Amino acid sequence: MPSSVPPSFRELLGDCTESAVHLEMRDAYAVDYESGPFAAWRAGYRHDPTDRASWWRPWLDLVAETVSRGVSIRRARIVSDPVSEYIRYEHSGTFTNVAAGEQVRWLPRRQASDIALPGNDFWLFDGRVVQWNHFAGDGSSQGPEVTDVPGAVKLCAGAFETVWERALPHDEYTIR
């Protein structure tokens, strides 16, 4: 990448012309157990699919705008089975991502054992730029890292496509 200042996520997505794929491999990300959306979900709150205004948010606007430009956005999640409480939370709200135009699939971790996976979650933009998402052990973000190194791009593209082929579409994946 020629610039010493990496592009923002919004810029990377804005520059996409064909595809953005996202692989998530953690069973939990940093959440506030005392307040916020995860705490509300734990207390029994669920999004009402018929009340779009109550759950539509800036991320979903960005997805819808990107998809309307003809860019395919696919997200695959590798999850342990049985799933963590956090994955239950993510699963219950994923219909919002789908409504915005994302395609989402789920793969039980046992079915990923023979896939060469990168060490971190990532986004791959137009099959040429990777944004690694680094996390601490507690799930807190340690910031992104952007690269266009061919070996990293090839690893991420291959890993994602293999996961995608094996994974179940969101509407077919049930939590046990």
Is 109 inside any structural domain?
A: yes
Is 4 inside any structural domain?
A: no
46 pLDDT exceeds 80?
A: yes
The label of the residue with tokens 């994955």 reads 87
pLDDT digits (tens, 9 = 90+) for 3-19: 568 899 999 999 999 99
> What is the count of structural domains for the chain?
1
Contacts of residue 126, defined as CB under 8 A and 6 or more positions apart, other chains included, come to 15, 16, 17, 18, 19, 20
Region class of 143: left (phi > 0), else alpha (psi between -120 and 50), else beta = left
In whole angstroms, what is the distance from residue 12 CA to residue 9 CA? 5
State the CATH number of the domain containing residue 103.
3.30.870.10
pLDDT digits (tens, 9 = 90+) for 69-88: 999 999 999 999 999 999 99
Is 90 inside any structural domain?
A: yes
- Cβ-in-10-Å burial (0-12, 13-18, 19+) of 23 comes to buried
Domain boundaries, position 82: 9-172
Is 2 inside any structural domain?
A: no
pTM: 0.93
